């Protein structure tokens, strides 16, 4: 007669009760794991993340800025402005369409970005030129939204077109990127 080296152990034989206990334990682990899930992710893209607006920061006052215009002694006029945070620092900038006051016709305009030196409306200074008056354009619609400057630029197809009546129209937009304002345009007539 042969004898086995290991005694016959009852727990080495799988019975339905063992399988049922294992399934119940596994189900308990799954339920517990589903109840202890981490909070949903709230990551943001650093390229589009903007800081909260700075409390008390006012948009620069376009009337208080000195513009790089040669008006031969005539005063300047600021017919259009729009404000918003353009560079993502939480402080608003102002975009101003500016021209020399002329007696007749439609003088060319410059489109300038202003910032406040101390975060207040006073002390505005020009930090960028989006449209140079030498381009002989006039700014129609002007808006700032979500860090994007949009404008309708009006111009002339030839020197023979009366200066009162621009015959060309261009939609343009600028966005602060890499330390400069980048322009994209779609020409329409």
pLDDT tens digits along 12-40: 666 677 667 777 777 776 766 666 655 55
pLDDT tens digits along 58-99: 899 999 999 999 888 889 999 999 999 999 888 999 999 999
- Report how many helices (DSSP H) and strands (DSSP E) the chain contains, helices first: 1, 8
What is the band of 42 on the pLDDT scale with cuts at 50, 70, 90?
A: very low
What is the band of 8 on the pLDDT scale with cuts at 50, 70, 90?
A: low
Cα gap 87→84, rounded to integer Å = 9
Q: What's residue 116's pLDDT? A: 86
Whose structure tokens read 């930090």? Answer: 127
* Interacting residues of 45 by C-beta distance below 8 A, sequence separation 6+: none
**Domain parsing of the chain, residue ranges:** 62-188
Average pLDDT, the chain: 80
Q: What percentage of the chain exceeds 70 in pLDDT?
A: 68
Q: What pTM value is reported for the model?
A: 0.68
């Amino acid at each position: 007669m042969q004898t086995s080296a290991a005694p016959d152990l009852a727990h080495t034989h799988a019975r339905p009760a063992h399988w049922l206990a294992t399934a119940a334990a596994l189900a308990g682990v799954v339920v517990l794991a589903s109840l202890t899930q981490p909070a949903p992710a709230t990551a943001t893209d650093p390229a589009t993340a903007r800081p909260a607006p700075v409390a008390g920061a006012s948009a620069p006052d376009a009337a208080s800025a000195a513009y790089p215009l040669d008006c031969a002694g005539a005063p300047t006029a600021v017919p259009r402005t729009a404000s918003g945070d353009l560079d993502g620092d939480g402080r608003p900038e102002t975009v101003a369409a500016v021209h020399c006051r002329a007696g007749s016709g439609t003088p060319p305009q410059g489109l300038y970005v202003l910032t406040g030196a101390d975060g207040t409306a006073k002390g505005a200074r020009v930090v960028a030129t989006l449209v140079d008056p030498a381009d002989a354009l006039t700014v129609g619609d002007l808006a700032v939204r979500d860090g994007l400057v949009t404008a309708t630029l009006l111009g002339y197809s030839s020197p023979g077109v009366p200066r009162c009546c621009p015959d060309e129209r261009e939609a343009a937009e600028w966005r602060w990127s890499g330390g400069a304002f980048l322009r994209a345009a779609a020409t329409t007539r």
